[in-house]
Structure 1
Amino acid sequence: MAGRWMDLGMFNARGVPGADALGAAIENMVTGISSPVDSDRGLAARLRYLTKTDAGYEAMNRAGIHVSPRTLIAWLAEEHKPNGANLNRLDAAYWDLRRRNVATDLKYRLNNNGRGTRGESNPVDQSGVERKHQRDVASRNINVRGVRDRAVDAWIDEDFGELDAIWDEIVQDIGSEYDMYANVSSIGWAA
């Protein structure tokens, strides 16, 4: 990782490593059920989504849901409600499966017919930094062309080392000021 700003908070600047912001920007593109898992509607929707395919059962297994078929049928029929731990596991399984299911779409959206997706990297928040220590850093346009598939794969695998390497590749295109974008306040795009 680039790093002239090794002590980012030393003068009260606030931001996150670019790789973390990149992962968060991809994560923000994932939408799903908005009803909470502990509501009847939210639980029923998650159970339907998870039990439609083998991938849903695999997601439940990864989340640590190991119940008998009879218990699962009772949950689906709304005869019994899962305990708090299983509700949390069901929610985790739902979002895991949702992320995996939308990964292909995310790659397509970020590819944008081969043009890549333009985004904006917003610099660290320097509002708490004394004027004499502030740096003149503006928002910069970025493009995820060439690394989009790798970025989505790293995000889905939670491979933060790979996201960091990808972020370094993206900011290299900024030019000589790339080091100022090792940490950012956010990344956004309209993909």
Structure 2
Amino acid sequence: MAGRWMEFGKHGANGAPGGEALGIAMEGMVRGISSPVDSERGLAARLNYLTKSDAGYEAMDRAGVHVSPRTLMAWLAEERTPNKANLARLDAAYWDLRRRNVAADLKARLNNNGRGTRVEINPVNQRGVEQKYRRDLAPRSINVRGVWDRAVDAWMDDDQDELDAVWDEVLDLIGSDYDGYSYVSSIGWSA
């Protein structure tokens, strides 16, 4: 990662490494059931989502939900309730499947048929920094192409090193002041 911020935060600046902010922005795209898994509605919605496809059964398997078909049918019919451990596993399986489904859609939306996506980059928060130490940074808006498949794959794999490498490529698009955006307060897009 770019590096004039040798001692980031020393003078009171707040922010996150750009690659981390990229992952946070992607994670923010994952939406789902707001009812908790231990509520009747939350459990029913998760079970319904997970049992509608082979991918859902695979997600349950990855999360360690290993029950008999009879038990699963009893859960679906609301005749029995999973124990706390299985509730946690069902919740993990649900969010794993949501992330996977969002990832496929996110790649298509961010690539935008090769046109890329305009990304808003908000610089670090320097409110707590004395004026003499502040850097002259403004929000930047750039169109990013060609990195989205790698970025989404890195996010899915929780590969922070790859997200940092992708962010370095994004920084190259900024030009001469790229290093001022190696740490940011946030990034976003309207994809």
Q: 2:65 touches 2:89 (CA, 8 Å); kept in 1?
A: yes
Bigger shift: residues 173-182 or 67-76: 67-76
Q: 2:50 touches 2:56 (CA, 8 Å); kept in 1?
A: yes
Q: Please list every run of 5 or more consecutive structure 2 residues that lacks an aligned counterpart in the other structure.
A: none
Cα distance in 2 between the residues matched to 1:57 and 1:104:
18
Q: 1:142 touches 1:171 (CA, 8 Å); kept in 2?
A: no
Q: 2:107 touches 2:149 (CA, 8 Å); kept in 1?
A: yes
Counterpart in the other structure of 2:186: 186
Q: Identify if the C-alpha distance between structure 1 residues 59 and 127 changes in structure 2 by more than 3 Å, giving closer, same or farther.
A: same
1:17-62 alpha-carbon deviations (Å, 9 max, x no partner):
1001111111212222222212111110101111122211111121
Counterpart in the other structure of 1:60: 60
Counterpart in the other structure of 2:94: 94
Counterpart in the other structure of 1:113: 113
Cα distance in 1 between the residues matched to 2:19 and 2:167:
5
Task: Give the deviation of 1:11 after TM superposition.
Answer: 1.1
2:59 is paired with a residue whose SS is: helix
Counterpart in the other structure of 1:162: 162
Q: 2:119 touches 2:187 (CA, 8 Å); kept in 1?
A: yes
Residue identity opposite 1:24 in structure 2: I
Task: Give the deviation of 1:69 after TM superposition.
Answer: 2.3
Cα distance in 2 between the residues matched to 1:164 and 1:120:
17
Task: Give the deviation of 1:132 after TM superposition.
Answer: 1.9
1:55 is paired with a residue whose SS is: helix
Cα distance in 2 between the residues matched to 1:106 and 1:26:
8
Q: 2:126 touches 2:134 (CA, 8 Å); kept in 1?
A: yes
Residue identity opposite 1:16 in structure 2: A
Q: Percent identity?
A: 74
Task: Give the deviation of 1:113 after TM superposition.
Answer: 2.7
Residue identity opposite 2:79 in structure 1: E
Q: Identify if the C-alpha distance between structure 1 residues 144 and 86 changes in structure 2 by more than 3 Å, giving closer, same or farther.
A: farther
Residue identity opposite 1:163 in structure 2: L
TM-score of the superposed pair, with normalisation by structure 2: 0.94
Counterpart in the other structure of 1:139: 139
Counterpart in the other structure of 1:49: 49
Q: Please list every run of 5 or more consecutive structure 1 residues that lacks an aligned counterpart in the other structure.
A: none
Counterpart in the other structure of 1:40: 40
